[in-house]
Structures are given as C-alpha cells and as structure tokens.
Chains A and B, each alone.
Chain A
Amino acid sequence: MRNLIIFLGLWSASVFATDFPMIIDPVVSATPPGAKVTAGYLTLVNESDKDIIINGAYSPTIAKVEIHLSRIKNDVASMEKLDSVTVKSGEKLEFKHGSYHLMLMELTGPLKENDLVDVILSTSIGDMLIEMPVKKPGMHTEGSSHGEMSKDDKAKMAIESHENMKKDGDMHTGQTKTVH
C-alpha cells in the first residue's frame, strides 16, 4: 500500500501514506458511438482509523466528473448526484453497477477499450489520482455473468499485487498517488 502512493510534493509528504484508501479494480465503461456520458467503478478500502469523505472528482481529460447514485426503486431506474460520500474507517465502499458510480460527463470523443482515464478524487485528506482502465461495459460489473470474482478474491488479488509491486518496485499498474 505504502509503495503505491507517490508523493509529488513536500506538502503531501506530511500525509501518512496509509491514510489513503486502497483502490481495487478501477474501471471505466467504454462508450458506444455518440454517448456523451459513461460510468466509472472502483472499490475504496479505508484501512485507516478515520472516516474519509470523498467531496468530488475531476479529470484532466474529461470536462466533468460527478459522484452519482443509481437506484432502482419500484421498477424505476433513477440517478442522483451526490455532493459527497464517506468511506468509513475500517470499511469499504463500492462504486458499482446499480449503485454509486463516477459519472464522466460531456465526453468529446469515444473512450475505447484499453484507454486509460485519469480521475482525481478530492478527499478529506487530500486529492488522489486514480488511473482507470477502460473496458467494454458488462465485462467488469457486479453480478454480471462473465466470470465475476468474489469480493474476497478481489481484495486478496489486490493485496497480492501490492506485495508483488513492493518486490519489484513497479509503480505503474493500478497506481494511486497524491496530487495537488
């Protein structure tokens, strides 16, 4: 975990690396032609002893990124913008299909499979940059029938990959870093 956080300035060096939530499986849905919006999904794991509030999101390449909540109530699908979400201490928060998601808006061109989208989450302990790979919709979603792993498997895999990174010092895959 510690290795995954890159300090870009002296200011952020004062923040303990372990305070930042662990990011598991960040992914953005590739867009069908003409789509002006798409969704981003990820799981945040807060291993610190403080709640972390996500106050917003932005991106250097996407005009607008918002935190949204999809709901299906009485068979009607609706969506609302949230000002903030809290990842409680010792808990995880899933951004997933039919629930919380990052809404990437005002797209000027298609997002294709294997593209990478940088999204910055503004949190109560600083900003964190997440590199989100683009995948075809439905190939990565909760409960889809395409060989989904269980949450425990995912968490285990994420921890393993972190361990491997520690070993070989690879900072490039699934990285999490603080930015100003």
Chain B
Amino acid sequence: MLLIACVAIAAGVFAGSLRIGDKSNNASSDQPTEQHAQLSKIESQLENSTLFPDDFKSVPPFSLLQAGNKPLTEADLKGKWTVLFFGFTNCPDICPITLAEMNGVVTQFANETLPMPQVWFITVDPARDTVEKMTEYVAYFNEEFIGGSGDLTDITELTRSLGIVASYTASSSGDNTYSVDHTASMLVIDPELRVRAKLNAPHKADTIAADLKTLLTNFN
C-alpha cells in the first residue's frame, strides 16, 4: 500500500514536471495530454475495471419505479456514487452471485471513510419482474440495495443509451418461457451522473471494493 502511494507520488511529481515542460512547448495539446496521463495513472491502479474519459457519457433522464412504486429517476443518482447493474430475477447464476458479491463490497466499506456507493439492480425483464418483486429480491442481498423496474420501453431507452445489451431468447427448455442475455459488467456512475467506469465480470467483492475505492479517491 505504502509502495503504491510512493509510486503514485513519484508519478505525480514526474507528471507535474512534464506538464510544466509541455506548457512551454505546446499549449494547444496540453489539456488532453494531461487528462490522458491522469486517466492512465488511475487506470493502472484498477484491478478489473475499464475507465472512461471525463466526457465519455452521462446518464440521460429516465423514469422508472422503485420500492413502493415511487419514481426512480436520474435525480436519484445526483450527489452519490452508484453501481448500476442490469439483470433479471429468473437468472439463477450470474445475477444472484453478483449481488451477493456486492453485499461483500458493502462489508468491505464498513470501516472506510469513503462512502459506499449505492447499488441499483434494474430489471431488463419487467414483464416478469414487477417493482415489488425487484424490491424483495434486492433486499434479500442487502436492505440498502435499490431494485428498479418500469415499462420495457423506458428500460430499453436507458440500456441503449448506456450501451447495455439485453437480448431476449427463446428458452432452450422447450416450454414457452424465455431467457435474457444481458451485459455482465456493472457501470459506475459519479455524483454528477457521468459514467466513470465499468466493473468487469467476473465480479469479486475484493476487486470491486478495491476499484471503487480507487475511483472514489481519485474523482471525489
């Protein structure tokens, strides 16, 4: 840990001296280079996440539902860090394990001064996943987690804008059910609604906690 800090300080000093040099030579390309260097530095500290540039993408306005049929909108993202995961409750393997790992992350943040990001699990299968069902489902893993549902059109609009995939396939079981293939990674949204990073699968509590701490420390 100490070593990382030392390397980070050294890298910072080095980057600082480079920046001064850059300014005198080429002022026009200074800012992107600086941002690039900063992002590369943060990215190198991330264990299993992809970092996006500052201006990559923001969460657009949306209108979904949460516990008690209360609205769940982009306003609920403001001022807090959020981990956003899309899935469905008829998912026996990936979704429950991912939420269980996220509960493990909460445990790892218990003694942190950094705030634990809120955790949202939004269904991509609202026909079967009502808001009541989502609420009960997420509470099983952690009472603080937020479950979201809504109209399929609204959900699709949100997933598309965020680059989240949800594809509905006939169940190979031969009955009239269907399965949903969906993006396995989770998005990290900053308090100003910017999509900052993607937590890549496979999800493990230790790695996610470490990466979230890196993001929060660098961008707070």
Chain A CB within 8 A of B100 CB = yes
Query: Please, how many angstroms separate the alpha-carbon atoms of A139 and B107 in the complex?
Result: 14
Which of these binds chain B: A11-19, A142-150, A159-167? A142-150
Set of chain A residues within 8 Å of B87, measured between Cβ atoms: 77
Q: A176 near B: Cβ within 8 Å?
A: no
For A72, the chain B residues whose CB sits under 8 A away are: 94, 184, 201-202
Stretch at the interface among B29-37, B68-76, B136-144, B152-160: B136-144
Is B104 interfacial (CB 8 A cutoff)? yes
* A64 beta carbon closer than 8 Å to chain B: yes
Distance of A72 Cα from B202 Cα, bound (Å)? 8
A147 → chain B closest CB, angstroms: 11
Q: Give A66 to B169 CA distance when docked, in angstroms.
A: 17
Contact between A35 and B200, CB atoms less than 8 A apart: no
Chain A neighbourhood of B167, CB < 8 A: 76
Query: Could you tell me if A144 and B200 are in contact, using CB atoms closer than 8 angstroms?
Result: no
A75-B183, A145-B205 given as contacts; is B93 within 8 A of A34 (CB)? Answer: no
- Whether A76 contacts B89 by the Cβ 8 Å rule is no
The answer to whether A70 and B94 touch across the interface, beta carbons within 8 angstroms, is yes
Contact B103 A138 (CB under 8 A): yes
The answer to the question of B191 belonging to the interface, with a C-beta cut-off of 8 Å to chain A, is no
Complex Cα–Cα for A118 and B49 (A): 39
Specify which of A32, A77, A79, A81 is in contact with B96 (CB 8 Å cutoff): A32
Known contacts A76-B182, A77-B201; A34/B100 CB under 8 A: no
Q: Which of B143-186 touch A at CB < 8 Å? A: 165, 167, 169, 171-173, 179, 181-185
Q: Give A79 to B180 CA distance when docked, in angstroms.
A: 8
One digit per residue, 1 when the CB lies within 8 angstroms of any chain B CB and 0 when it does not, for chain A 33-58 equals: 11111110000000000000000000
- Contact between chains at B183 and A29 (CB < 8 Å): no
A91 within 8 A of B: no
Give the chain A neighbours of B165 by CB distance below 8 A: 75-76
B172 and A81 contact, CB distance less than 8 A: yes
Question: Is A98 a contact partner of B89 (Cβ separation < 8 A)?
Answer: no
**Nearest CB of A to B137, in Å:** 5
B19 within 8 Å of A by Cβ? Answer: no
**A34-B92 contact, Cβ under 8 Å, with A144-B101, A145-B205:** no
Q: Which residue of A lies closest to B103 (CB)?
A: A138
Question: Does B213 sit at the interface, judged by CB under 8 A?
Answer: no
How distant is the Cα of A144 from the Cα of B93 in the complex, in angstroms? 13
Q: How far is the CB of A6 from chain B (nearest CB, A)?
A: 29
Residues 121 to 144 of chain A near chain B (Cβ within 8 Å)? 136-139, 141, 143-144
CA A35 – CA B133 in complex, angstroms? 9
Which chain A residue has the least Cβ–Cβ distance from B163? A75
Contact B182 A98 (CB under 8 A): no
State whether B202 touches A98 (Cβ < 8 A).
Answer: yes
**A177 touches B (CB below 8 Å):** no
Measured CA separation A50–B183 after assembly (Å) = 39
Contacts from B to A (Cβ < 8 Å): 87, 89-94, 96-97, 99-101, 103-104, 133, 136-141, 165, 167, 169, 171-173, 179, 181-185, 200-202, 204-206
A-B contact pairs, 27 of them (CB 8 A): A29-B97, A32-B96, A32-B138, A32-B141, A33-B136, A34-B89, A34-B133, A36-B90, A37-B91, A39-B96, A64-B173, A72-B184, A72-B201, A76-B165, A76-B182, A76-B184, A79-B92, A80-B172, A81-B173, A97-B94, A97-B202, A98-B97, A98-B202, A105-B173, A137-B100, A138-B104, A144-B97
